[in-house]
Amino acid sequence: MSLKNFFDFNFQTLKQFLSTDLKIEEKKTSMRAKQLWQAVYKKGLEELNHLTTLPVELRDELISKITLKKPKIADTQTSEDGTIKWLIELLDGNKVECVFIPEKTRGTLCISSQVGCTLNCRFCHTGTQRLVKNLDFSEIVNQVMIAKEQLDDWKEQKIITNIVLMGMGEPFYNYDNVKTAVEILKDKDGLNYGPKKITVSTAGIADKIPLAAKEIGTYLALSLHAPTDELRELIMPINKKFKIKDLIEQCKYYAETVNEKITLEYVMLRGVNDSKECANQLTKIMAQFPCKVNLIEFNPWPGVNYLPTEREDMESFSKIIQDAGYISTIRRSRGQDILGACGQLRTESERKKLN
């Protein structure tokens, strides 16, 4: 009989498993499930035989039916600035990247939701890798677990304080798995990340934004990158399907429902989207719903046709937005020397051809 993997359960299905497969009496299933859940997600348990809060017979039975096997690290790269990028080999052999960015007051883990991506944004290295697969919720959560193990992050004071789904893939094209993963990340008996410690980023899958407002409820980042449909379509083909007008409506709804500002992500490309006119057009979008903008240094990669905007031009662009009364920050690029910065993640995984 093949073993079930613990990470393939959410809390409800874990309880069902303990009840039906291990025949634990109903009044004890919640308690036993919670003991197991807390030991793995709060304390980083790696061996079931170390779970001394359970009776020996129950432990033995668990060991015969459940495994705590996780994906493994295929490669680790550390940047001069302290950023760490892990290449993770999933149990099916595909590979995915996640990045830890340490700062003075917080540590951010950037995780992936797909292997590859379907969006083909012209400036994004990840978009040059065709979609291989959606990650299961266990594969999303395991990126966090692996990073926590590497950083020995099991104390009350977290090293990884914030999680952003801004790695490989479009989270809203893998909506159900992302939703379940976020539920596990938020669980107070487990990893215990509050909704304000998690950000889900989308390139603007407008029809999923209202659903996410009700069901996911974390911070939302919108990869906007251009202030007009005409310009956005040149660099982000997804805009042919979801226009800026629709995104404004859905972001308005999200901000009202979650009661938080939306973060607009804006990669600055020299001579493309960094003019004063673009800045003024962007302020007109920002006037329509509560938001702030993150101006991002473009990170070149081999074969790309774009150049980064000069720093002084980024500052002038930012000042136009600030003078209009909106929050604009310039995000310093991290991990560039290990291709770990925004838009640089990519692996060699390819979609397997069906015979």
* 97 tagged catalytic: yes
Distance linking the first and last C-alpha atoms of the chain: 28
DSSP letter for each residue of 132-170: -EEPPHHHHHHHHHHHHHHHT--SSS-S--EEEE-SSS-
Rounded Cα distance between 199 and 87, Å, is: 21
CA distance 291 to 262: 5
Which of these, 164, 281, 161, 168, lies nearest to 221 by C-alpha position?
164
Relative to beta strand 291-297, strand 162-165 is unpaired
Q: Which of 34, 138, 49, 189 is nearest to 24 (CA)?
A: 34
Specify whether the CB–CB gap between 85 and 335 falls below 8 A: yes
Q: Which two tokens stand for residue 44?
A: 């980083």
Taking each continuous run of H as one helix and of E as one strand, the counts in the chain are: 10, 14
For tokens 């859940």, name the residue.
Answer: 37
The Cα–Cα gap between 81 and 294 comes to 20
Residue 145 token pair = 């677990």
Please, what's the largest Cα pairwise distance for the chain? 71
Structure tokens given for 335: 């991990």
Catalytic residue (one of 98, 110, 278, 342): 342
- Cα(108)–Cα(203) distance, rounded to whole angstroms? 20
Kindly name the residue from 57, 80, 97, 121 that is annotated as catalytic. Answer: 97
Is 291 among the residues known to form the active site? no
CA distances 116 to 129, 173, 236, 257, 342, Å, are: 5, 12, 16, 31, 15
Question: Which residues are the active-site residues?
Answer: 97, 342
